[in-house]
Amino acid sequence: MRDIATTRREFLRGTAALVVSFSIDRHQTVRAQAESPSKSVSTEQVDGFIGIDRKGEVTLYAGKVDLGTGVRTALAQIAAEELDVPFAAVTVIQGDTALTPDQGVTSGSFSIQNGGSQIRLAAATARQALVSMAAKKLKVELGDLSVADGEVTSKATHRSVSYGALIGGKNFSLKIDVAVAVKDPGQFKIVGRSIPRVDIPGKVTGEFTYMQDFRLPGMLHGRVVRPPAMGATLQSVDEDSVKDIPRLIKVVRIGNFVGVVAETEWSAIQASRRLKVNWSSWDGLPDQSALWEHVRGTKIVKEDVTSDVGQVTAALPRGATRLRATYDFAIHTHGSIGPSCSVVEFKDGALTCWSASQGTHALRKQLAAMLSMSEDQVRCIYIDGSGCYGRNGHEDAAGDAALLSRAVGRPVRVQWMREDEHGWDPKGPPTLIDLDAALDAQGSLIAWSSAFFLPQGAATPVALVAATLANLPREMNIGPGGILNDTAIPYAVPNMRTVARRLETTPLRPAWIRAPGRMQNTFANESFLDELSAAAGADPLEFRLRHLKDARGTELLERLASIAAWERAPAKPRDRNARIASGRGLAFVKYEVVRTYVGVVADVEIDRVTGEIRVKRFFVVQDCGQIINPDGVKNQIEGNIVQTVSRTLMEQVTFNRSRVTSLDWGSYRIIGFPEVPDVVIDLIDRPHEKPWGSGEPSASVVPAAISNAIFAATGVRLRSVPFTPDKVKRAMVRT
């Protein structure tokens, strides 16, 4: 076990002028060393991203963080490749507002595509500068030099000089050259290889320090006491109810925010359970049994037209066949296995927050605003937590810890309980989609019209629960994420109009969950396309190929047909009389209509009597351009498929008029080992193309593929996620 206290003492010894990087272990943040006081955090400066010490050890300062996706390893691969240093020479510091550039929130499958590309340019600029320095030092021409393993060598003189000797411990003081020559992918030695993830040995032996493991000397434990009805007002707190709890330090009350702080975690938990609090009643949530009527009836504040081609209104009635359908997708929770956690310390007027937030730079702004501090008094430091798959409760736990720490004047750790995470993390909002399309007599799509009922807002910071309850400064708008994406479709249709009706509100605080919007929207688009294909009497693969004018997409679908041994035939139910019906369904996405392509085939069985669906296997073909780490990409794809099968078949948040009622793993069930499908993956690597994201795209196609497979098996069309046995049985009766 690493001695955190030791490194902490070194931290405290650091002079006020120095920014100190905070050590945990070899592969998280390595050294408790004093960084240069002028450590740049600029995204435009080489020093923002790259530091090289006298031994030639490279530190990569990444604003993008590893949420369990392996990007720590992949970003180090990119840096090592462009610098021409051994992979093992690179250590990554992530998401520390005092040390790393603000590369934006780690979301949207942009860590490699955008974050990695910035790092590539920084590393290539650094390499170019180092070679120039070497030329001067060795008194040779640039063209005479070659680089390997951080050593620059003259071919003519055979003399060499190391990066450590050239720059060790000094700043580059150099702007990143966005036009710098980057390495020819044909020369790659590190990028494109399945280098084992650096964090795994520590994670499987208990040596790794997660956010939830992090401790400070003198640290106290806090828990929050949430109102039993989400919008209730605090009326009274009976502190006598917890006076017998040993080591209780304080009951904290700020507006409707109530928390307890104790010397031990168990005492904090006991106090939070026993504290008697009176709240007003509140029943402002809609009736869940009428959720879709509620969504349809919510005030529309604006319409976003995401594509508009031809004359859709005129074309729709002119088709030989016209189909209309409505799809819906339930409210989901992130369901992190480890509830959110944070530690906050106030010292000398400054706040330091350790958090597993996807966006420590954004969190810093939120904490500063909530506490009316200036941003430069706030430092947020990322430590890996439990997977979050979007904006879960990590930031909220930080807000809680900040209020409690300020109230007691000592460092406070808050870890949410299970019911906090299930009950209070922000949710993937309910999504309702109306579709209307027409085919001509030859079965070609001539008109496509869709309307998506989506809450207003974008991927902006989500107001902290603590700030809301305590009525402190906070964001007053909602931030559901980039949910407009994939409302438009990648197919060529002569008349097409896709519109998002932006709703004023949504029942529970919304945020992004893996493939936000893209999943819900693609579910509707790709299932409805399958309906049209069936109406046209066409094979679903051929129907897509017919309407796809895109070479990479076409190549991908052909490869999918090959690995899945797709029989090109119109979907028609087989085994109509068998109790267990089996079928396969296909879905395709060109993510956000501009990047990563994914095609999948799902093999599914359905029990006509019980309504239970069993997903047997997924075939996946993905083209995300240049692949940095193939095994890392496969790990992401497997995770996306399995997690989204779970979301599609069984997940939905339940609530009454006052609060969320699915507060544990019994009431919000997720997939278990017996139900997990096999996943067969074929990656199309394009080393000479841009690298695109891989964290989400393969999730977005899963619900439609399952829905389409069930149609192929039974002729029943499922248009409402999740596909619970009850819904399946009701749909069977209707057919």
CB 76 within 8 A of CB 83: no
- Cα–Cα distances in angstroms (integers) from residue 168 to residues 91, 172, 275, 501, in the given order: 15, 10, 56, 56
**In the window 68-97, what residues touch another protein (CB under 8 A)?**
68-70
Binding track over 677-716 against another protein, x by CB under 8 A: -xx-------------------------------------
List the one residue out of 173, 196, 192, 172 whose CA is nearest residue 183. 192
CB 524 within 8 A of CB 718: no
Please tell me whether residue 180 adopts helix, strand or coil conformation.
coil
Contacting residue, 32, 65, 67, 258, with another protein by CB under 8 A: 67
Contacts of 12 (CB under 8 A, 6+ apart): none
User: What is the token pair recorded at 563?
Assistant: 């690995």
199 binds another protein (CB under 8 A): yes
Provide the 8-state DSSP code for 428: B
Compare residues 300 and 676 and give the one whose CB is closer to another protein. Answer: 676
Binding track over 413-432 against another protein, x by CB under 8 A: --x-xx--------------
729 binds another protein (CB under 8 A): no
Q: How far is the CB of 396 from another protein (least distance, A)?
A: 17
What letters, b where the CB count within 10 A reaches 16 and e where it falls short, cover 309-322? eeebeebbeebeee
Q: Quote the CA–CA distance of 432 and 131 in Å, as a whole number.
A: 57
Compare residues 67 and 560 and give the one whose CB is closer to another protein. Answer: 67
Q: How far is the CB of 39 from another protein (least distance, A)?
A: 29
631 binds another protein (CB under 8 A): yes
Q: How many residues bind another protein (CB under 8 A)?
A: 63
Q: Quote the CA–CA distance of 223 and 244 in Å, as a whole number.
A: 17
Q: How far is the CB of 211 from another protein (least distance, A)?
A: 10
Compare residues 24 and 529 and give the one whose CB is closer to another protein. Answer: 24
29-37, 66-74, 279-287, 438-446 -> range binding another protein (CB under 8 A): 66-74
Q: Quote the CA–CA distance of 224 and 257 in Å, as a whole number.
A: 8
200 binds another protein (CB under 8 A): yes
Provide the 8-state DSSP code for 206: T
**In the window 258-277, what residues touch another protein (CB under 8 A)?**
264-267, 270
Q: Quote the CA–CA distance of 157 and 181 in Å, as a whole number.
A: 26
Compare residues 201 and 297 and give the one whose CB is closer to another protein. Answer: 201
Q: How far is the CB of 246 from another protein (least distance, A)?
A: 4
Burial class from Cβ neighbours inside 10 Å (0-12, 13-18, 19+) for residue 139 reads exposed
6 binds another protein (CB under 8 A): no
CB 332 within 8 A of CB 647: yes
Q: How far is the CB of 635 from another protein (least distance, A)?
A: 6
Q: Quote the CA–CA distance of 677 and 607 in Å, as a whole number.
A: 16
Binding track over 637-676 against another protein, x by CB under 8 A: -xxxxxx--x-----------------xxx---xxxxx-x
Contacting residue, 345, 384, 400, 531, with another protein by CB under 8 A: 384
Contacting residue, 306, 386, 485, 662, with another protein by CB under 8 A: 386
Give the end-to-end CA distance of the chain in Å, rounded to a whole number: 61
Compare residues 386 and 533 and give the one whose CB is closer to another protein. Answer: 386
What letters, b where the CB count within 10 A reaches 16 and e where it falls short, cover 348-366? eeebbbbbbbbbbbbbbbb
Binding track over 302-341 against another protein, x by CB under 8 A: --------------------------------xxxxxx--
What residue ranges bind another protein (CB under 8 A)?
Answer: 1, 67-70, 196-197, 199-210, 212-213, 215, 246-247, 264-267, 270, 334-339, 384-387, 389, 415, 417-418, 631, 635, 638-643, 646, 664-666, 670-674, 676, 678-679
